[in-house]
Every structure is written in C-alpha cells, then in structure tokens.
Amino acid sequence: MLYDLIDHELIDVINDGNYQWQEAVRKTTQYLEQRGYVSPQYADAIIQSTEENGPYYVLCPGLAMPHARPETGVLKTGLGIHVFPNPVDFGSELGPANILITLAAKDSDTHIEVIQALSEMLVDEENIEKLAQAASKEQVLDIIKAY
C-alpha cells in the first residue's frame, strides 16, 4: 500500500557529501518542489519553524520528518523519503538523522492514509536500520514494497 501511495520520484539516496540541517531540508524539499507538491517557500517555512520551535520532527534516533503547515507552500499532498549516508544533525537530543521523510500535507485529512502505512513500516526498528543503510533508490523501494 505505501509503495503504491508514494511518488517514486520523491525517493532517493543523497550521498554527495555532508549536509547541515538547513541544506538537507532544502535538498529534500527540492524534490517535492520539482514535482509540483510545494512552492519554493516551503523549505524556508520548515527552516523558520525549526529555528523557532526546535527540531520537533526528529521522531527517533536516525529518523526525521521535516514539515511545515499546509498554508506555507503546500500545493498537494506528498511524501519524500531520502536517505543520507552521512547523518544530518538537527540539534535534537535524539541525535542525528539518516532518514528524512519530508511531508507536504495539503490538509489534516488527506495524508492520514500515507502516515498510517508509513508508521506500519517504521514501527519495526529493523526497517529503520535497513533504510538508513540503503545505498540506492532501488533498495529503498524494495524495503517499502512490503508496505
């Protein structure tokens, strides 16, 4: 189900260097922007929200779900999954994140199905480990194929 719900063009492994958290947010939202899910302001909104509220979207060690409010540039609901072999430090007490799941939710209802399918996969810590070690987009897709 998750495999069918996610735009596969929003999945990638970002292995071209070390990223500061702001650069990582811009990199992942770029995928959403290029596919018409968000406006260029969305990355700025996530960065501003993080600066004001802290890295509230670091969900557990190794996993972050950067997002901002729908009115800050979301054009349609989408979800990007990006693996960073070099962990990104958001300044969270949970530590850095290798997996960034960038959420663009048009409203509070339309993304619930995707989040439910995603949480089924992420409830198993082994899947988080597998995602963090994925070396290619194809490996990420293979992991989510079961969900």
Catalytically active residues, by annotation: 67
Whether 67 contacts 104, CB under 8 Å: yes
For residue 39, the surrounding DSSP H or E stretch is: none
- Bridge partners, residue 79, by sequence: 103
Is 47 within 8 Å of 67 (Cβ atoms)? no
Contact in structure between 77 and 23 (CB atoms under 8 Å): no
